[in-house]
């Protein structure tokens, strides 16, 4: 029996599979495909979090976000500066505000 995944996995997954005496096929992808696979992985992790509500899924999300930042040559420090800038300019989400509508004249 074989299961086809065709998705990005963490670096140690082949070792884990091998330690379970299973055979596998992997491929190291180029930068363009890597970026596409990261985007797919981001959606996968978001969906897993939404389905489970599990905090561990948030950690997986962060790992994917960090990898995406690296592909865009943005350090975690730069990413945090951008986040804090948006927090200062637009605020966070602590007030739990839900926008219903905006009226235009």
Residue 94: band (very low, low, confident or very high) from pLDDT cuts 50, 70, 90: very high
Count of Cβ atoms closer than 10 Å to residue 67 Cβ = 17
Residue 1: band (very low, low, confident or very high) from pLDDT cuts 50, 70, 90: confident
Those residues whose C-beta lies under 8 Å from the C-beta of residue 22, and which sit 6 or more positions away, are none
Percentage of the chain with pLDDT > 70?
A: 100
Domain ranges of the chain: 13-90
Average pLDDT, the chain: 97
Q: Give this prediction's pTM.
A: 0.87
Is 38 in a helix, a strand, or coil? helix
Q: Which long-range contacts (CB under 8 A, 24 or more apart) does 18-23 make?
A: none
**Tens digit of each residue's pLDDT (9 = 90 or more) over 36-62:** 999 999 999 999 999 999 999 999 999
Angle between helices 55-71 and 76-90 (to 10 degrees): 110
């Amino acid at each position: 029996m074989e299961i086809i995944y065709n998705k990005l996995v963490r670096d140690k997954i082949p070792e884990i599979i091998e330690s379970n005496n299973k055979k596998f096929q992997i491929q190291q992808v180029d930068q363009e495909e890597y970026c596409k696979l990261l985007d797919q992985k981001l959606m996968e992790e978001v969906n897993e979090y939404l389905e489970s509500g599990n905090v561990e899924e948030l950690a997986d999300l962060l790992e994917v976000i960090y990898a995406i930042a690296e592909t865009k040559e943005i350090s975690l420090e730069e990413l945090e500066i951008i986040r804090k800038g948006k927090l200062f300019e637009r605020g966070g989400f602590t007030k739990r505000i839900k926008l219903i509508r905006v009226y235009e004249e």
